[in-house]
Amino acid sequence: MADEGDVLTDLNLDPAAGANGADTRPTAGFISQYIKDMSVENPNAPAVYQWNEQPAVDLQFNIGANAVNEEVSEVELKINVEAKTDSGALYLIELVYAGLVGIRNMPEDQAHMFIYAEAPRILFPFARRVIADATRDLGFQPLMLDPIDFNGLYMQRLQQKAAEEAAAQGGDAPAGDA
């Protein structure tokens, strides 16, 4: 039986992987996550605390990824929130919440899906908490963002891209004509 130190340091869990530790199993996971950039503005304080109007909240988000090396990518979840009334802006929050993702031995299409669908799904609850804390710290009710179906959005984007490519290759012929 191995002592506790051996269990924590021996990451080769598959004895069939070989004596040199070469493991060809697909692997993906987070190395780290962090706030990369954040801006919080309360441009009309203290007057804003006297307004009684219900604010309109504009939420925008985007996903970006940058390769750090062959096996590590930085995934960025960019969220912009602006709350306004007829009297003016209540607050503006711009957040870039990022994570370093390690991917090894994974087919390109699966790695792409992990980076653009699964990684944002994992990052989102943490970014949501940052937004809620920021609105609370501004003196407003915490803004609880609704969950986002990143996998559904990813699949929708793939279908849109395939349709655009098919239209570009097919010219101006209407659909259904052969």
The residue ranges of every structural domain in the chain are 25-146
Give per-residue pLDDT as tens, 131-165: 999 999 999 999 999 999 999 999 998 899 888 88
CATH code of the domain occupying 25-146: 3.10.420.10
Q: What are the Cα distances from residue 153, in Å, to 21, 33, 108, 159, 164?
A: 38, 22, 19, 10, 16
Max mean pLDDT among 9-13, 80-84, 149-153 falls in: 80-84
105-134: average pLDDT: 96
Integer Cα distance of 62 and 91 in angstroms: 20
Mean pLDDT of the chain: 86
For residue 85, what pLDDT is reported? 96
Q: Would you mind telling me the total number of residues written for the chain in this entry?
A: 178
Percent of the chain with pLDDT over 70: 83
Q: Which residue has the higher pLDDT, 4 or 54?
A: 54
Task: Kindly tell me if the per-residue pLDDT of 48 is higher than 50.
Answer: yes
Task: Kindly tell me if the per-residue pLDDT of 15 is higher than 60.
Answer: no
Helix axis angle for 119-137 and 150-170, nearest 10°, is: 120
